[in-house]
Amino acid sequence: MKKLIILFCMMGSLPVVSNAQGLGQAVADAIGSVTISNEQVAQYSKQAVQQMDAKNPVAGANDPYTQRLNRIVGPFRTIDGIPINYKVYAVKDVNAFATADGSVRVFKGLMDLMSDDEVLAVIGHEIGHVINQDSRDAMKSALRRSAVRNALGAGPGAIGRLSRSQLGDVFDGFLGAKFSRDQESQADDYSYDFLKRNGKNVIALATSFEKLAKLSGGSQGGKVAELMSSHPDSKARSERIYERARRDGLAR
């Protein structure tokens, strides 16, 4: 079965768990009692990405997609002081993600859909989530949920070493994290500023939204539309970008 599209900010259906609404009081207490340091988050993020890399077909150094991605990201190996490592997953999903440790993963399906400028715009948006610490917070929430599950199964306790399946669970939680509208706007602004200061095409950010919106309305299946409907403001987001571009004299 064809894998479904996940919009590039991982707008899935899972709730953000730092928000304990809907959970029982005992679970909410357990969430509150878990302290997770930023360092732990970075370590777990790194482990989770390593596991994702092991599970997915990573395009090799000579793969045309890897070469294209390298061309697109060119000099952007360190962004705002964070060293970024890039890889392509040779899968059809229209997807990309970035994690708190500076790993950016771009899926072949997204590269097939987007122009070079648009791929860079999407990466800029994802890195925006990292810089703005949304990725860290989403990972923290996923870890908390895992901690809660463990606590429910085996009594309360701090997060320890995670098994592979737990780590997989945590990462699924991370990928399902739903960022708020403000977080999305701020990541959009980050990408816009990043593109602008590097003399890149800011309009590509808007057109990447348009392509995703169009795709979600197409024949790809109900789940896509569902993901999109959880994020009805993509038109407003692209309009905002056009508006900024007009003000900056960068609209075409």
Smallest distance, Zn ion to C-beta of residue 116, A: 20
- Contact segment (CB under 5 A) with Zn ion among 8-16, 87-95, 199-207, 243-251 equals 8-16
Q: What is the contact mask toward Zn ion in residues 171 to 190, using x (rule: CB under 5 A)?
A: -------------x--x---
Widest CA span in the chain: 60
Between 66 and 183, whose beta carbon lies closer to Zn ion? 183
- Contact segment (CB under 5 A) with Zn ion among 9-17, 28-36, 37-45, 220-228 equals 9-17
**Dihedral angle computed from the Cα positions of residues 37, 150, 179 and 172, in that order, rounded to the nearest 10 degrees:** 110
Cα–Cα distance for residue pair 10/137, rounded to 1 Å: 14
Between 30 and 212, whose beta carbon lies closer to Zn ion? 212
Asked if 7 is part of the footprint of Zn ion (rule: CB under 5 A), the reply reads: no
Between 109 and 124, whose beta carbon lies closer to Zn ion? 124
Smallest distance, Zn ion to C-beta of residue 7, A: 8
Site for Zn ion in 188-207 (CB under 5 A): none
Asked if 9 is part of the footprint of Zn ion (rule: CB under 5 A), the reply reads: yes
Between 166 and 191, whose beta carbon lies closer to Zn ion? 191
Q: What is the contact mask toward Zn ion in residues 24 to 63, using x (rule: CB under 5 A)?
A: ----------------------------------------
Q: Is there a contact between 37 and 136 (Cβ–Cβ < 8 Å)?
A: no
Query: Could you tell me the two tokens for 251?
Result: 């609209």
Handedness of CA 210, 58, 178, 129 (dihedral sign): negative
Q: Is there a contact between 101 and 42 (Cβ–Cβ < 8 Å)?
A: yes
126 is a catalytic site residue: yes
Between 162 and 192, whose beta carbon lies closer to Zn ion? 192
Active site residue: 126, 184, 210, 226, which one? 126
Nearest to Zn ion by Cβ — which residue?
9
Asked if 228 is part of the footprint of Zn ion (rule: CB under 5 A), the reply reads: no
Task: Please list the alpha-helical segments (H only) found in the chain.
Answer: 25-33, 38-55, 64-73, 108-113, 116-131, 134-154, 164-175, 181-197, 203-216, 222-229, 234-247
Burial class (CB in 10 A: 0-12, 13-18, 19+), 2: exposed
Strand partners, 83: 78
**Residues, the chain, total?**
252
Q: Is there a contact between 32 and 140 (Cβ–Cβ < 8 Å)?
A: no
Site for Zn ion in 139-178 (CB under 5 A): none
Q: Which residues are catalytic?
A: 126
- Residues that bind Zn ion in the complex, under the rule CB under 5 A: 9, 184, 187
